[in-house]
Copies of this chain bind each other. A is one copy, B any other.
Amino acid sequence: MATVNSNYRKLQAGYLFPEIGRRTRQFLADNPGVQVMRLGIGNTTEPLTPTIIRGLHEGVEVLAQVETYTGYGDEQGETALREALARRYKGYGAELDADEFFVSDGAKPDTANIQSIFGLDNVVAIQDPAYPVYVDSNVIAGRTGQGVNGQYEGLVYMPCTAENGFFPDLPQGKVDLIYLCSPNNPTGAVATHAQLKVFVDYALAHKAIIIYDSAYASFISDPSLPRSIYEIEGAKKCAIEINSFSKEGGFTGVRLGWAVVPKTVECENSEPGEIRRMWFRRQTTMFNGASNIVQKGGLAILSEAGQAECREVIGYYMRNARAIREGLEALGLTCFGGVNAPYIWLQTPGGMASWDFFDKLLREAHVVGTPGSGFGPRGEGYFRLSAFGHHADVLRAIESIQKNLKL
């Protein structure tokens, strides 16, 4: 008599984005003919650039010839791709070996699966608000108790508020696994060197592990802000970094990312190099590598021409971000983020509940956003707007908000 993993039943409501989809479909069914404008999911909309398209076509073409066809690839991902990633990090001032990189099918699977190489007794600290995957993967694994009012027993929530600039203070009690995301999804805040150093020093002192999600690093334009946690001294002993080509190269649907697990990362009971070896074992046992075609696209993204093209597209999205932020501020709304990150974190008017504002914005302005409370209790009273979209559509959405939203 098999039984299900009852931890799944602790998960509250649907995963955020399916729930947004459900409400939007319902609205469209109730209001036929209405055009909805989407500033919700952080989903890329601009086509892949010529260099990347060429790389992908070449990736297909090599599979057509018996001389160049390949089956299963290198276990950690193509060597050339890992070497190119290592060169990128060298540019950040971080010396990492190519075999400390693990190419994957994206940051979501990696951020969800990384917890599985740690013990179930580890206490998990997350920024509040945070990308829901950090929380949900730990709920499913059994590291939490029940959820009460959007908060799970046993998890340590680190408040990120306007008061602390949306970067948390150190947690009070003992914590073992600390998830940090910068540039932050959903708040758009970017951690400084000094802010990260506080956490790295804490992790080193307490043998805690930082899981650092830098999926939006390519949106940082301020050269004084760190693009990788390995810019902080000591981070190679306590931090795992996860990143992705999804937003940098438009690969949300193409699927490619990477994790960095330095050989020097260690925790309480690990032998030298063991954490990296465990992730290697996890990935070779439960994953079979990112698509070989897609990895060729990743190499194209990292080429000089690819990087120049990606910067153009990122600039395009960041013009959207500015239009959103300025458009909303002109209405007297308070906004954060949107400068070195593609997300604008909007304070709902009059302290309205996030899902109420979702419904109001959809009903009045026909604009879909993401309720802040979907990212954690401290997201309540906030709302995330995404800069991903065609520029004309974004302008139309902002215009509709300016014209139709009853404030």
Q: Which residues of A contact B (CB under 8 A)?
A: 1-6, 8, 11, 15, 18, 41, 43-48, 50, 53, 56-57, 60-61, 63-66, 69-73, 75, 105-106, 108-109, 112-113, 116-122, 132-133, 136-137, 140, 142, 174, 176-177, 206-209, 250, 252-255, 267-270, 274-275, 278, 281-282, 284-294, 388, 390
A54 to chain B, nearest CB (A): 9
Q: Are A44 and B71 in contact (CB under 8 A)?
A: yes
- Do residues A119 and B4 form an inter-chain contact, with CB atoms below 8 A? yes
Task: List residues of chain B with CB within 8 A of the CB of A106.
Answer: 288
Residue from A44, A63, A71 with most neighbouring chain B CB atoms (10 Å): A71
Contact partner of A254 (CB less than 8 A), chosen from B133, B291, B388, is: B291
Q: Are A46 and B60 in contact (CB under 8 A)?
A: no
Contacts A71-B45, A268-B3, A291-B293; is A63 near B254 (CB within 8 Å)? yes
Q: Is the CB of A116 within 8 A of B64?
A: no
When C-beta atoms are compared, the residue in chain B nearest to A4 turns out to be: B270
Q: How far is the CA of A252 from the CA of B140 in the complex (A)?
A: 30
Q: Of B50, B105, B133, B290, which contacts A285 at CB under 8 A?
A: B133
Q: Is the CB of A208 within 8 A of B1?
A: yes
Tell which of B75, B176, B286, B290 touches A1, judged by Cβ atoms closer than 8 Å: B176
Q: How many copies does the complex hold?
A: 2
- Given known contacts A122-B3, A177-B2, A267-B4, A53 and B60 CB-to-CB distance under 8 angstroms: yes
A64: B residues at CB distance < 8 A: 47-48, 50, 53
In the complex where A41-B72, A63-B47, A253-B72 touch, is A6 in contact with B119 (Cβ < 8 A)?
Answer: yes
A83 CB → nearest B CB, Å = 19
Given known pairs A254-B291, A292-B253, A293-B291, the reply for A4 and B269 (CB within 8 Å) is: yes
**Contact assessment for B53 and A137 in the assembled complex, using a CB-CB cutoff below 8 Å:** no
Given the known inter-chain contacts A43-B72, A253-B292, A291-B294, please indicate yes or no for A119 contacting B286, CB distance below 8 A. Answer: no
Residues of B near A60 (CB, < 8 A) are: 53, 56-57, 60, 293
Interface class of chain A by DSSP:
loop
Are the C-beta atoms of B253 and A5 separated by less than 8 Å?
no
- List, sorted by A's number, 9 A–B pairs whose CB atoms are closer than 8 Å: A2-B122, A3-B176, A3-B270, A4-B274, A5-B117, A46-B69, A63-B253, A63-B254, A71-B252
Choose one: B1, B11, B44, B278; the contact of A267 (CB below 8 Å): B1
Residue from B45, B57, B133, B269 in contact with A286 in the complex, judged by beta carbons closer than 8 Å: B133
Which of B43, B268, B291 is within 8 Å of A291, CB to CB?
B291
Name the residue in A4, A63, A106, A121 with the highest tally of chain B Cβ atoms < 10 Å from its Cβ: A4
**Closest chain B residue, CB of each to CB of A288:** B108
- Starting from the known contacts A2-B207, A2-B268, 8 additional A-B residue pairs (CB-CB under 8 Å) come to A2-B118, A3-B119, A8-B117, A50-B64, A63-B254, A105-B105, A109-B288, A291-B291
Q: How far is the CB of A8 from chain B (nearest CB, A)?
A: 5
A47 partner residues in chain B, CB cutoff 8 A: 63-66, 69
Q: Which residues of chain B are near A288, meaning CB under 8 Å?
A: 105-106, 108-109, 252, 255
Q: Is the CB of A112 within 8 A of B176?
A: no
Of B53, B65, B267, B291, which contacts A253 at CB under 8 A? B291
Lowest 8 A-B CB distances belong to which pairs? A2-B267, A112-B286, A71-B252, A1-B268, A253-B292, A2-B176, A43-B71, A3-B119
Nearest chain B CB to A245's CB is how many angstroms away? 12
Partner among B53, B120, B285 whose Cβ is within 8 Å of the Cβ of A15: B285
Residues of B within 8 A of A65 (CB): 47
Check A254 against B292 for contact (C-beta < 8 Å): yes
Cβ of A115 to closest chain B Cβ, rounded Å: 9
Determine the distance from Cα of A73 to Cα of B174 in the docked complex, in whole angstroms: 40
